[in-house]
Amino acid sequence: MRKLHSLTGVVPVGAFMVYHLWTNAKALGGQEPFDAAVQEINHTPYLPIFEWGLILLPLLFHAGMGVKIAFEARHNVTKYGTSRNWAYTLQRLTGMLAFLFIGFHMYGFWWKKLAGKMSPEQFYPALCAGMSSTVKGVPLIALVYVLGIAACVFHFANGLWGFCFSWGVTVSRRSQQFAAWVFGIVGLSVFLLGANTVIYFATGSSIQERLFGMDKPTQTRSCLDIREESSKSEPAAQSAIP
């Protein structure tokens, strides 16, 4: 069961997470490419079978088994503060955080779409509005997404190391150290992919635009366009109130 739990964390759950972050990164090109990617997914043949059979049921098994493992864990990081002991503890902590974050994200979009409360065309404006909203100047939802993605990615990258170890792929100490470096780089790359999209939704510009001065796409509707439209419509709506 533990090996099956490790396997589902890599395929299909981990693989789908990377694909999902890559698809969402289409938002950096504006609403049109993002909507096209979402529509392509929603027009997939036998989509409910794909969602439940290859994503949701493996995710529920992985999460349920993960909660059981987390509560049975014996942490000794306070006595032996080695890197692997820290990774052992953080793997269980990030697993719990990732479970809560995925539930929050799915309720906000997948569940609302399933219940008929939100159409796929509303995802982009909703993400722009949610990520850019602030409470006393603090973008709370954007921070939740950055921390949630960080938890998911660490759990995935460290889980890849654990998968290779438990399945006998990395037997020697040297191969385990090499795997740790490789999966660390993979995890950092995937995190930057997801965090860059969150930053774009929250600020209207991506990391590469801020660092390298790259031009924004002008042919598509961006988050900044949506905010400008909202700011123009708000005074008109208020003036119509008697």
Q: 135 φ, ψ to 5°?
A: -120, 110
Per-residue pLDDT band at 33 (split at 50, 70, 90): very high
Taking each helix axis from N to C end, the angle separating 223-239 and 123-132, rounded to the nearest 10 degrees, works out to 80
- Separation between Cα atoms, residue 162 and residue 95, nearest integer Å: 14
Most confident of 192-201, 210-219, 231-240: 192-201
Tell me what pLDDT residue 200 has: 95
pLDDT tens for 77-95 read 767 778 888 999 999 999 9
Say if residues 67 and 96 touch (Cβ distance below 8 Å).
yes
Domain CATH for 79: 1.20.1300.10
Tell me what pLDDT residue 16 has: 97
CA atoms within 13 A on the CB side of 108: 16
pLDDT tens for 174-187 read 999 999 999 999 99
Looking at every residue in the chain, the average pLDDT score rounds to: 90
Share of the chain above pLDDT 70, in %: 92
Tell me what pLDDT residue 240 has: 43
Tell me what pLDDT residue 184 has: 97
Of 105, 78, 16, 100, which Cα lies nearest the Cα of 52? 16
- Separation between Cα atoms, residue 207 and residue 230, nearest integer Å: 24
Of 124, 115, 157, 223, which Cα lies nearest the Cα of 9? 157
Of 87, 102, 57, 100, which Cα lies nearest the Cα of 159? 87
* CB neighbour burial string for 40-52, b if at least 16 within 10 angstroms, e if fewer: eeeeeeeeeeebe
Tell me what pLDDT residue 82 has: 85
Tell me what pLDDT residue 215 has: 63
Q: Provide the domain count of the chain.
A: 1
pLDDT tens for 121-177 read 999 999 999 999 999 999 999 999 999 999 999 999 999 999 999 999 999 999 999
Task: List the structure tokens of 129.
Answer: 């509005």
Q: Which residues contact 242 (CB under 8 A, 6 or more apart)?
A: none
- Which residue is it, tokens 């938890």? 151
Tell me what pLDDT residue 242 has: 40
Tell me what pLDDT residue 217 has: 59
Tell me what pLDDT residue 30 has: 92
Per-residue pLDDT band at 239 (split at 50, 70, 90): very low
Q: Is the pLDDT of residue 208 over 90?
A: no
CB atoms within 10 A of CB 161: 22
Tell me what pLDDT residue 241 has: 44
- Separation between Cα atoms, residue 233 and residue 240, nearest integer Å: 11
Amino acid residing at 47: L
Q: Is the pLDDT of residue 234 over 80?
A: no
Q: Is the pLDDT of residue 97 over 80?
A: yes
Q: 77 φ, ψ to 5°?
A: -65, -25
**6-to-29, 60, 105, 158, 182 alpha-carbon distances in Å:** 35, 13, 23, 11, 18
Give the residue numbers spanning the domain of 213: 2-239
